Each structure stands twice: as C-alpha cells, then as structure tokens.
C-alpha cells in the first residue's frame, strides 16, 4: 500500500488524499503578482509532479519556509 497524506481544502468540506509514492518532483513558485498584495508577496505554490511531469496536486503555503517544512515532513527531503 502506498503512502498517502490527507489534505483538507480550505473553506470546503472536500478532502483529497495525495499518494506520496507518485511524487517525483516538487516545484515551488511564488504567488502571481496579479494575485498578491503586500502581505501576500511571500506566499508560494508547491506543485507535485509524477515522473512524466503530470501535475498531481498543487498546494498553497504562506511562505517558502512552510512549503519546505511540509515537504521535509512528508517526503523526507529538503528543497
């Protein structure tokens, strides 16, 4: 059986299970300038990709430090 992590969607009753065994690459990208205001400028998106570069999930974090901590905790690697 694979390693799964539960992700609760903000402001929604929906829950997603992310199969960590499928993740081959994690890409971090800052929030678009069009979407951010001063306080939001540190927010980032982490996109989890399969070996064929198909996006499996994209998660939003308040900072790159939060994203790095999440990836280290769940995938055992540092970005």
pLDDT digits (tens, 9 = 90+) for 18-57: 999 999 999 998 876 555 555 556 789 999 999 999 999 9
Euclidean distance between CA atoms 70 and 73, whole angstroms = 5
pTM metric for this prediction: 0.77
Instruction: Tell me how many helices (H) and strands (E) the chain has.
Output: 1, 5
> pLDDT at residue 59 above 70?
yes
Euclidean distance between CA atoms 22 and 42, whole angstroms = 28
pLDDT of residue 19: 92
Paired tokens of 7:
């992700």
């Amino acid at each position: 059986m694979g390693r799964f992590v539960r992700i609760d969607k903000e402001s929604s009753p929906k829950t997603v299970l992310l199969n960590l065994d499928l993740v081959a690459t994690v890409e971090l990208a800052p929030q678009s300038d069009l979407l951010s205001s001063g306080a939001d400028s540190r927010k980032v998106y982490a996109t989890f990709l399969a070996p064929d570069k198909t996006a499996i999930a994209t998660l939003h974090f308040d900072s790159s430090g939060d994203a790095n901590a999440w990836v280290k905790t769940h995938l055992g690697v540092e970005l």
